[in-house]
């Protein structure tokens, strides 16, 4: 049986120590890899799901808020357009009514001139003058109604309410204009009868229809 010397034993021990050091190094590397692997996997899952990224995902609540904001903005624009439309309608109606009142006032002026001439010729114009006075009163009330268009409240959010306010003011003015027109028609007929009597030299007693 071969007996090894001390030198051979020392060489074997050195070899074993070297192998142990290498094994320890390999185990350390394996341990580090095992620790790092779950972290990397977690990062991968986080990036895929989006929950751990720097840009957060929009939630349903965020989407609902955005939708509500867009609806509110759209509604506000629609209400503003309806208000502008009501204002334009009020302005247009005011101009039309004012022009009608001015035409009737011109008729009043011509009738008053005719009354003056008939009276100078000896005609009785009391009835015609009464109708003219009524017409002038209705035209004054009509102008007061038209003036309300400037201050009418058109700030309502419902278009129907704004248009109803415009129609209410216009209806009142139109009523006075209609009454003024009828009074002027009566005044013209009464004055025509008086004028005929003056031309024939007789006493004419006009009657209003």
pLDDT values of the chain reduced to their tens digit, one per residue, 209 residues: 444 555 656 666 666 666 666 666 656 656 655 555 554 445 545 454 444 444 455 676 665 666 556 665 666 776 677 777 778 888 888 899 999 999 999 999 999 999 999 999 888 999 999 999 999 999 999 999 998 877 777 666 666 777 788 888 889 999 999 999 999 999 999 998 786 666 555 444 433 33
Contact 146, 168 (CB under 8 A): no
The span from the CA of 132 to the CA of 196, in Å, is: 19
Instruction: Decide: helix, strand or coil at residue 157.
Output: coil
Q: Is the whole-model pTM more than 0.85?
A: no
DSSP letter for 150, please. Answer: G
Q: What is the pLDDT of residue 128?
A: 93
- DSSP for 134-180, written as a single string: HHHHHHHHHHHHHHGGGT-----SSHHHHHHHHHHHHHHHHHHHHHH
Burial readout 57-72 (b: 16 or more C-beta within 10 A, e: otherwise): eeeeeeeeeeeeeeee
Q: In the chain, where are the structural domains located?
A: 1-51, 78-198
SS (H, E, C) 106-129: HHHHHHHHHHHHHHHCCCCCHHHH
pLDDT at site 135: 96
Give, as one character, the DSSP assignment of residue 1. Answer: -
- Considering just the CA atoms, what is the radius of gyration of the chain in Å? 51
The pLDDT score that the predictor gives to residue 163 is 75
Which H or E run contains 74?
Answer: helix 60-120
- Determine the pLDDT at residue 192: 86
Instruction: Give residue 55's pLDDT.
Output: 47
| Apex 58 CA angle, 53 and 61, nearest 5 | 140
pLDDT of residue 165: 80
Whole-angstrom CA distances from 6 to 14, 16, 98, 100 are 12, 15, 133, 137
Residue tagged 């996997």 (tokens): 41
């Amino acid at each position: 049986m071969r007996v090894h010397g001390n030198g051979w034993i020392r060489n074997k021990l050195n070899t074993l120590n070297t192998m142990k050091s290498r094994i320890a190094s390999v185990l350390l590397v394996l341990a580090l890899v095992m620790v790092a692997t779950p972290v990397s996997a977690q990062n991968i899952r986080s990036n895929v799901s989006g929950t751990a990224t720097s840009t957060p995902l929009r939630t349903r609540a965020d989407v609902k808020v955005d939708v509500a904001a867009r609806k509110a903005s759209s509604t506000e624009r629609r209400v503003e357009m309806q208000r502008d439309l009501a204002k334009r309608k009020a302005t247009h109606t005011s101009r039309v009514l004012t022009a009608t009142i001015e035409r009737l006032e011109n008729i009043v002026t011509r009738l008053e001139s005719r009354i003056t001439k008939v009276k100078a010729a000896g005609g009785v114009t009391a009835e015609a003058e009464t109708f003219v006075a009524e017409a002038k009163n209705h035209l004054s009330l009509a102008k007061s109604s038209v003036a309300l268009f400037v201050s009418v409240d058109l700030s309502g959010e419902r278009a129907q309410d704004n248009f109803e306010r415009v129609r209410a003011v216009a209806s009142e003015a139109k009523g006075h204009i209609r009454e003024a027109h009828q009074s002027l028609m009566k005044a013209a007929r009464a004055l025509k009868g008086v004028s005929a009597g003056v031309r024939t030299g007789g006493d004419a007693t006009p009657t209003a229809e």
